[in-house]
Structure 1
């Protein structure tokens, strides 16, 4: 298996991961892939040759080995690493899909109009893709741990196993090669897998919590905007009613008072007569004297 190509493919996932995702990727490569390539493959290099039984019956050792080791540890861990890292490619493929859409959109409408502010930002569908990939990775890790626990009885490797499977003539004692070393590596790989599960759960909680905080802040901003609008509307109406009620006794400007006609009471209380009554002497003076002298 070419782990360098595998690492090159996963290096793009680090760009779009959170802090927990980067730690998870480091744990996968340093504590799982490196240990697998450097040490684990050599320990389980040819474990069937190291499986010795105290009989020379043809086929007995092979059948007993298949009975106690139906799935090799090293091949099971290789499958686990492949299946665990595959969901991360969902995020890379989604980002590539966004970039292709952005390229087509800019080619059609110009570079000034963007379809995405940032194609790698976890919003909308990419957020759901990232969250689903975390759930899938967690489920795969738990499934492989369950398989390993189910097959090898709590990850324990005994030094001696007793086999009674045909074609063995009777109960045969078989010995596992390097049992302590294999046990240490088994516990180490199980612990690294459990650590990856914890990191995935922490990242899920972080993403959901961050999304809830953002959603809550948006709701608060909307409520504040609506409250400010209602407050301004009510304040304007209250000011208008207050001014119209309280300004009934307040004299208006000089121009307003000048334009208004005088009241009837004021006209009656003036010591002079209106200018219309002053025309009476003139009318009498201009009338001809019709009195006849006697």
Structure 2
């Protein structure tokens, strides 16, 4: 892979990342990839050649080197960088899949049709892909730090190691070349990896909190809309009134002419009522 292809991949990852993701990518590219390419390969390029043991027994030096360095630092960091950057490429692949679906949808329904508002916006499946990629990156970083710590005993590189394995005849003293320089680069790479872990955890918390806040706002707006519809369509169950609450305070105008037309006999006094009236006059 040349630098142009690698730069295109990094720019694609940076385009769909959050602020924490962009910082993480800068740390990986500047403080890990550049240091690995420029300095680390030269420091560990001659580690087996500089590993010297005070014996002439054939094969003893090679066996002791394999015993104390079962996995080379430089190769372990190369694997770590490859595995760490792979989950970020899943996000780019998901966005490309969305763009392909959008293209096919427009070919079928017209150029103005839209399947997604924004193919790079982290909603739905893309949000889950991005979140899972963060968990994968964090797990890979922690796993490689544990492997390095377990193999090299707290990332320490002593100047003198004692070896007693076959075919060495007895306890053999072996010396590591430039141990202090290698120790400095080891701690530097471990520190950069720890910073990446912290950034990934911060990004996970940021995405989850933002998703919870968005869901809370949607639920609040939905509740307010439901309450407004409930009040506007409220009905009095006792009076079987179908008028809205804001119209109950308006009384209908009294129309005497209409009442006379509907009840023509209501304005005339009843004969029965006049006859039944008591005579209250005094003689």
Larger-Rg structure: 1
- 2:254 is aligned with 1:252: yes
Separation in 2, partners of 1:253, 1:184? 100
Q: Identify the residue that residue 97 of structure 2 maps to in structure 1.
A: 97
Which runs of structure 2 are paired with 1:1-294 in the superposition (5 Å)? 2=2, 5-234=5-234, 237=241, 252-264=254-266, 266-267=268-269
1:55/1:264 Cα in 2 relative to 1: closer, same or farther (>3 Å)? Answer: closer
Residues 84 and 141, structure 2, Cα contact 8 Å, conserved in 1: yes
SS in 2 for 1:120: coil
Separation in 1, partners of 2:116, 2:250? 56
1:212/1:251 Cα in 2 relative to 1: closer, same or farther (>3 Å)? Answer: closer
1:214/1:243 Cα in 2 relative to 1: closer, same or farther (>3 Å)? Answer: closer
1:97/1:243 Cα in 2 relative to 1: closer, same or farther (>3 Å)? Answer: closer
Matched positions, count: 267
After superposition, the CA RMSD in angstroms is 2.4
Separation in 2, partners of 1:246, 1:184? 85
Residues 87 and 137, structure 1, Cα contact 8 Å, conserved in 2: yes
Residues 20 and 202, structure 1, Cα contact 8 Å, conserved in 2: yes
1:242/1:45 Cα in 2 relative to 1: closer, same or farther (>3 Å)? Answer: closer
Give the superposition deviation at 1:255: 4.0
| Larger deviation, residues 64-73 vs 260-269 | 260-269
Separation in 1, partners of 2:131, 2:224? 31
**TM-score, with normalisation over the residues of structure 2?**
0.87
Q: Is there any run of 5+ residues in structure 1 with no aligned partner, and where?
A: 270-294
Separation in 2, partners of 1:168, 1:240? 99
| Larger deviation, residues 48-57 vs 75-84 | 48-57
SS in 2 for 1:12: helix
Residues 10 and 88, structure 1, Cα contact 8 Å, conserved in 2: no
Separation in 1, partners of 2:4, 2:249? 84
SS in 1 for 2:115: coil
**TM-score, with normalisation over the residues of structure 1?**
0.84
